[in-house]
Amino acid sequence: MWPPTSTTLRHRTDGLEGIQLAPFQLLVSDGRTYSDRDHGWHLGLGGCLVEADPELIRPMRSLRVDVSQEASVDVGTQWWEGLPPTGGGGMVVKPFANLVRGAKGLWLQPGIKARGCEYLRIIYGPDYTEPGN
């Protein structure tokens, strides 16, 4: 629904009050990188941050999908389709192992942000989904 209604807006803000972060990966700290840690480790760290400051850090919803299993892909698809109606603007799709090489030995994209239709209306305008566009 465009524009968003009060039920689709999850948090009200006033200046910085009400702003929340939803970290899904720690890149660096104190001169160290964490590309060798799997995504579960990164999400676990995010959970610790939520416990430390639930006003600032928002919990991440996540789902692990095995792309070689059709049933798992179906569950992931249903999960994705359920995100926009519950306030989710998109998701990050990434290999669980974090940095991995593909069949040709090249590094794969470490993650892709997939945005839902309603979020994209903010970027492209309210007629984004009209057939002529």
At 11 the pLDDT is: 56
Which residue ranges make up each domain of the chain? 20-62, 65-132
Backbone φ and ψ of 49, nearest 5°: -65, -35
The pTM for the full model equals 0.72
At 115 the pLDDT is: 87
Q: pLDDT digit string (tens) for 81-128?
A: 888 777 677 888 899 998 899 999 999 888 888 888 878 888 888 888
Is a pLDDT exceeding 90 seen at residue 13? no
Mean pLDDT of 5-21: 66
3-state secondary structure of 33: strand
3-state SS, 108-132, equals CCCCEEEECHHHHHHHHCCCCCCCC
User: Alpha carbon 56 to chain centroid distance?
Assistant: 17
Q: pLDDT digit string (tens) for 43-59?
A: 999 999 999 999 999 88
At 10 the pLDDT is: 53
